[in-house]
Amino acid sequence: MTGSPSDTGTPTEGVRAGGFGPRPRKTLITLVSELPGQIAALIHAEIEAFKSEMAGKAKNIGLGIGLFVVAGVFAFLAVIVFVALAVIALALVLPLWLATLIVAVALLLIAAILVLIGVNRVKAGTRADPDGLAASIRRDADAIKGVGDYEH
């Protein structure tokens, strides 16, 4: 032994006065006992980072949706102006009441056609599908129970 600090064999060997330098070695039991706390701290930090990221994304999504709503309001107002323009243009060649009646009937026809198309699409979307997901789940349940026809 030379008497240098590295020869002492203590766990704090080589540690300087400022707290910098090699860390003292910990036993395996100490490391294993610290593991649950470190895992909990890591999970907590990950959850906080996720919350922070989602808050930023939600703020941007909310702003985007708000801008879409405002754009929709302006588009709706523009449609109203175009309807008024159609009435005024027809009023140049027809009496005002007749021009207004023609535009109103045209708008109602468009609305009726859109409603019929929408009803047809809803019926198509809610129609029972014999080979759909519900039937597939039913066949899987029957296969697990061992009843019905199924491939082995």
pLDDT of residue 1: 46
- Per-residue pLDDT tens digits for 10-49: 555 545 555 566 777 878 888 888 888 888 888 988 998 8
**Cα separation values, 39 from 23, 32, 42, 45, 51, Å:** 21, 11, 5, 10, 18
Region 75-85 average pLDDT = 96
